[in-house]
Chain A
Amino acid sequence: MSDGTQLKTPYFDMHVAAGGKMVPFAGYAMPVQYPLGIMKEHIHTREKAGLFDVSHMGQAYIRSTDGSDPAVALEEVMPGALAVLKPGKMRYTLLLNETGGIEDDLMVTRTFEPEGTLYAVVNAGCKAKDYALLEERFAGRLVLELLEDRALLALQGPKAEAVLAGLAPEVKDMCFMEATMVTLEGVVCWVSRSGYTGEDGFEISVPAEEATALAERLLAHEDVEWIGLGARDSLRLEVGLCLSGHDFDGSISPVEAGVTFALGKKRRENGDFAGSERILGELAVGPEKLLVGVLPTGRAPAREGVEIADMDGVIIGKITSGGFGPTFGGPIALGYVPKAFVAEGTDIQLVIRGKLHPAKVASTPFVQQRYKRKILS
């Protein structure tokens, strides 16, 4: 299963015992699917509750060396309003380079520590790079404490709340993008109401030595199944969420990637973040190219790398994520097109195995997100 050079999460043995098909992913041996299969795992998550091992992702505390708010420094390279984050609140943000390109996307949470310590979760494939970029830029100012002794579980789906409330009733009071310490099975965990499937749910950071017991307890609930990386990918694609390193990289700006919601209003006004000149310029006049939803007219899936052509057959862009949406019930994709082609309903063509297939530019999400947002009174 593993060739010995791959890292294992604390759940490796549980995945193998559950029949998980282990594949190399970002240096780890991870389950791409279980005997249920990607299609049923995907549907199960949308209908009940899926349990995902995301321990390969990077977890870190970020503190300042002089006791000041670490978020103030981070805002130099992250365009979200981080300094205003109150304890227990989290935000999706971006790690930008000096040209305004997206090195990675990440979640940043304000902990309850008095010095305003931040807790960050970054993508597995980018974590070494992210840590190096931060340590280089903020040497002497910020300190990263890598939480390599913690596992990370995501419990996602409409039944996630009921399942987790069975262990800790107070999680019912949490809203989307809130986080707090919760005692689960006698173990203090860091729990957030968040995820990357478009469903309501939680992410649970648990000490590695207690990790398997917690997963076993959650899986004992009849509504919970292990879900692999295959369904994790189709779930996030259906709700139009970008995948770092695929739908954007260090050459793509937040405006091009369509993640302008991650640009704080005040932060735009101040223009005080890396690459802001380019990003604010693109906001003002529109980007040359934009990440859009793509709906193939036929049944053939358009995968990452498939070229996008105009109706004359001239290549105008590329698919960056694509496949079959089990809940949507057909092929769906994301890709970059020039600004003349971004309108919903624009006819385009896809070059699949050398043949042109008709498609249309579509709005995302393809399937509606169902977060438990705070009701504003």
Chain B
Amino acid sequence: MLKFTEDHEWLLIEDGIATVGITEHAQTALGDIVFVELPEVGASFIQGDEAAVVESVKAASEVYAPLAGEIIEVNDILVGEPGTVNSSPMDDGWFFKVQISDASEIDTMMDEADYAEFVAGLE
């Protein structure tokens, strides 16, 4: 199940685990990404906490935890190759995996069609 947030994050949800990244729209808006700061494995967040930071040449931006849970894995590739977020935002450029603690938080998120409409409305 693929879900999206208004903060331009995507979540691929499988077996109670969400893989989280930023969308194509987000990476385009940010521009060339030169640094990604990932959370610690084992860290717990509630929805809306700052979980990661992406920095482009120009500025730093926060990535918020889209739902509550514990970080079980982070994408270490991004430490050495932050540009992967630009080249493959929806696939190789994922940020972290969360063990979901409250599945009801998924209910308010957008599906792909809703998100496409949401992005179109911003332009």
Contact = CB atoms under 8 A, between A and B. Distances in A.
B55 A300 contact: yes
Interface string B1-15: 000000000000000
A37 B56 CA distance: 10
A324 B34 contact: yes
A234 B32 CA distance: 13
A326 B34 CA distance: 9
Contact of B58 (A32, A299, A331): A32
A331 B35 contact: yes
A38 B35 contact: no
Given A33-B31, A300-B35, A324-B35, A38 B55 contact: no
A301 B32 contact: no
Most chain A CB inside 10 Å of its own CB: which residue of B31, B34, B56, B57: B57
A38 B31 contact: yes
B32 A39 contact: yes
A303 interface: yes
B37 A234 contact: no
Interface string A214-252: 000000000000000010001000000000000000000
Nearest to A229: B58
B60 interface: yes
Given A230-B58, A323-B58, A324-B55, A37 B37 contact: no
Contacts, number: 45
B79 A299 contact: yes
A353 B51 CA distance: 12
Contact of A300 (B37, B56, B57, B59): B37
Nearest to B29: A21
B53 interface: yes
B60 A301 contact: yes
Contacts of A42: 57
Q: Which of B55, B56, B58, B60 has the most CB of A within 10 A?
A: B58
Interface residues of A, number: 18
Contacts of A331: 34-35
B53 A39 contact: no
Given A37-B32, A301-B35, A326 B55 contact: no
Interface residues of B, number: 14
A38 B53 contact: no
B57 A230 contact: yes
A324 B57 contact: yes
Contact of B56 (A38, A40, A299, A353): A38
Contacts of B79: 299
Nearest to B86: A37
B40 to A, nearest CB: 12
B62 to A, nearest CB: 9
B11 to A, nearest CB: 24
Interface in B33-69: 34-35, 37, 53, 55-60
Interface of B: 31-32, 34-35, 37, 53, 55-60, 79, 82
30 contacts: A32-B58, A37-B32, A38-B32, A38-B56, A38-B58, A39-B31, A39-B32, A40-B32, A42-B57, A230-B57, A230-B58, A234-B57, A299-B35, A299-B79, A299-B82, A300-B35, A300-B37, A301-B35, A301-B55, A301-B60, A303-B59, A303-B60, A323-B57, A324-B34, A324-B55, A324-B57, A326-B57, A331-B34, A353-B37, A353-B53
Given A38-B56, A39-B32, A303-B59, 10 more contacts: A37-B31, A38-B58, A39-B34, A39-B57, A234-B57, A299-B34, A299-B79, A299-B82, A301-B35, A331-B34
